[in-house]
Amino acid sequence: MILVLEPNTSPESTDYKILIGQLDRLPGIKHRVHREVGTEVTLTEIYLIGNTGALTVEQMQVLPCVEKVVRVSEAYRVLGRHKQGDDRPSSFEYNGVRFGQDSLQVFAGLCAVDSPESVEGMMKALKSHGQVCTRMGAYKPRTSPYAFQGFGAKCLPYVFELAGKYGIRVIAMEITHESHVDEIREALHETGNPTGVMLQIGTRNTQNFELLKLVGRQQELPVLIKRGFGITLDESLNAAEYLATEGNRKVVFCLRGMKTNMGDPHRNFVDFSHVPVVKRLTRMPVCIDPSHSVGTRAAAPDGLLDIFHVVAQGVIAGANMVLVDFHPTPAQALVDGPQALLLSELPYFLDDVALARETYVKRTELARRMKAAA
Ligand code: PEP
Ligand code: MN
């Protein structure tokens, strides 16, 4: 059970102290307080854990400071959508960019940072097409220990400075170890915070629970968690829940395809039909990664790349973020060059995304008409 308190409830207030005193006296029930400090309002939620079946919503509703009571019926207690009275937010803002189940952001960028020239070329193209988000891999988890592992902390200062120069507000960047989080925060600080970072948990680390807990304990940087490529959707959503139970609610869930030869000739079996499913089960914005799903630049006879086709499928189904590999000179890319889109393709890619989004918005209007007529 979750008690949503009135906005700006002070932990010092008498009413709050009375509330906590009453909760302390509930037999067999523990509580955990989550406070979200925003620029204008501070929101407080209290999670009641234990024998909550014995409590009634009415009984909790009359306690001091309580605005709303949500009975948790599903597995994903913090990030899930619960049946009774759950209108908790399904969006957040970070560094001036909105991430929600109703918005759409494109993160086109390098799979791996390989040189300042590639980074600058990429960011310049993004700026000229009005983009404020990108992806930049500094720490690369590779199948072979002999493969290029990413430039790590060494490249962060120039990546962040160039991001500032070209007005990039959020960079999605994978981390595989807790030291990477410290290195990123340090480099952001040392360069004067010219941009923001969304920490990416890759598919190989979806169930690295200690890493999830660590990343969840910091609330400064939002997190993009990828679906595990060989586990169920439920297992991946529980992984996201690890981040949230530790305190970080700024979580985006990314579909990136499943590892099975049933998806051949694609690199992974594209799973974007799960976009509406994740939105129904949880309040997380949903990202799609067409590059790591499809893995090639193959094109259909209609002239559209398979990557364009799956992006359209995901966006038309309501995806909220697209994470996609681009490279100024794919032949020289150190990681995943064969799946990278070209800078000359960027405006067409963005146009195609906009077409699909427009159709999605029209489809939601259709749904409203259908409901009104029922
Ligand atoms: C990536 O986005 O660079 C990446 C390695 O993706 P995934 O974790 O989905 O394989
Ligand atoms: Mn890659």
Give the C-alpha separation, 79 to 58, whole Å. Answer: 24
Contact of 247 with 271, CB cutoff 8 Å:
no
Residue 304 located in a structural domain: yes
Q: How far apart are CA 33 and CA 105, in angstroms?
A: 31
**Domain membership flag for residue 229:** yes
Statement to judge: residues 345 and 265 lie in one domain: yes
Tokens 């099975």 locate to: 260
**Left, alpha or beta for 26 (phi > 0: left; psi -120 to 50: alpha)?**
beta
Query: CA-based angle 106:243:207, to the nearest 5?
Result: 90
Instruction: Based on the fold, state whether residues 182 and 221 are members of the same structural domain.
Output: yes
**Would 85 be classed as within a structural domain?**
no
Looking at the CA of 135, name the nearest ligand: 1
Amino acid 48: pLDDT:
92
Q: Is residue 155 helix, strand or coil?
A: helix
Domain presence at residue 302: yes
Residue 113 lies in a domain: yes
Same domain, 107 and 60: no
Distance CA(68)–CA(99), nearest Å, equals 24
- Domain encompassing residue 155: 94-373
Does residue 149 sit in the same domain as residue 6? no
Q: Tokens for 223? A: 């997190």
Question: Is 140 found in the same domain as 35?
Answer: no
171 and 34 in one domain? no
Query: Ligand 1: which residue has its CA nearest to atom 10?
Result: 203
Domain harbouring 302, CATH code:
3.20.20.70
What pLDDT is stored for residue 217 in this prediction?
96
Q: Nearest C-alpha to atom 5 of ligand 1 is from which residue? A: 202
pLDDT at 74: 62
CA-proximal residue: ligand 1, atom 9 (nearest):
203
Contact 202, 211 (CB under 8 A): no
Residue 135 alpha carbon to ligand 1 centre in Å: 11
Does one domain contain both 40 and 110?
no
In a domain, 76, yes or no: no
Closest CA to 41 of 89, 6, 91: 6
Tens-binned pLDDT, residue by residue, of the chain (374 aa): 999 999 999 999 999 999 999 999 999 999 999 888 877 889 899 999 888 888 999 999 999 999 999 888 668 989 999 877 678 889 999 999 999 999 999 999 999 999 999 999 999 999 999 999 999 999 999 999 999 999 999 999 999 999 999 999 999 999 999 999 999 999 999 999 999 999 999 999 999 999 999 999 999 999 999 999 999 999 999 999 999 999 999 999 999 999 999 999 999 999 999 999 999 999 999 999 999 999 999 999 999 999 999 999 999 999 999 999 999 999 999 999 999 999 999 999 999 999 999 999 999 999 999 999 99
Q: Do 292 and 148 lie in a common domain? A: yes
The atom of ligand 1 lying closest to the CA of 140 is 5
Nearby residues for ligand 2 (ion, Cβ within 5 Å): 111, 336
Q: How many residues does the chain have?
A: 374
In a domain, 78, yes or no: no
Q: How far is the centre of ligand 1, averaged over its atoms, from the C-alpha of 141 (Å)?
A: 8
Structure tokens given for 3: 């008690």
Contacts of 63 (CB under 8 A, 6+ apart): 3, 19, 22, 23
Structure tokens at 201: 């948990």
On whether both 16 and 115 belong to a single domain, the answer is: no
Q: For atom 4 of ligand 1, which residue has the closest CA?
A: 202
For residue 14, what is the domain's CATH number? 3.30.70
d(CA 286, CA 101): 7
Residue 138 and residue 170 share a domain: yes
Domain count, the chain: 2
Closest CA to 245 of 89, 45, 57: 45
**Residue 12 within a domain:** yes
Question: Could you tell me the two tokens for 261?
Answer: 């030869």
pLDDT for residue 335 = 96
19/121 same-domain check: no
Say if residue 54 is in the same domain as residue 98: no
